[in-house]
Amino acid sequence: MKGEQRFTDPVCGMRLLPYEVAETVAYHGKVYHFCSALCRNLFEGAPQDYLGRRRAEKEG
């Protein structure tokens, strides 16, 4: 263990300490952490926009 564990909010890019995480979402087997419900809602509206911008994947 080195340093403190942090999570990155994929929407706004904020680095979050565990106690700062307001919302979590499980998506494709991974868990994402958000600073607020607003960021979570944005992510849920268009997850792929925030995850590496892969457009060509069609997953039905």
Site string for Zn ion, 10-39 (x = CB under 5 A): -xx-x--------------------x---x
Tokens (6 digits) for 30: 């991974």
Using the contact rule CB under 5 A, the part of the chain among 2-10, 19-27, 40-48, 50-58 near Zn ion is 2-10
Radius of gyration of the chain (CA): 12
Q: Are 33 and 24 in contact (CB under 8 A)?
A: yes
Beta carbon nearer to Zn ion, 1 or 51: 51
Query: What 3-state DSSP class applies to 17?
Result: coil
Residues lying near Zn ion in the complex (CB under 5 A) are found at 9, 11-12, 14, 35, 39
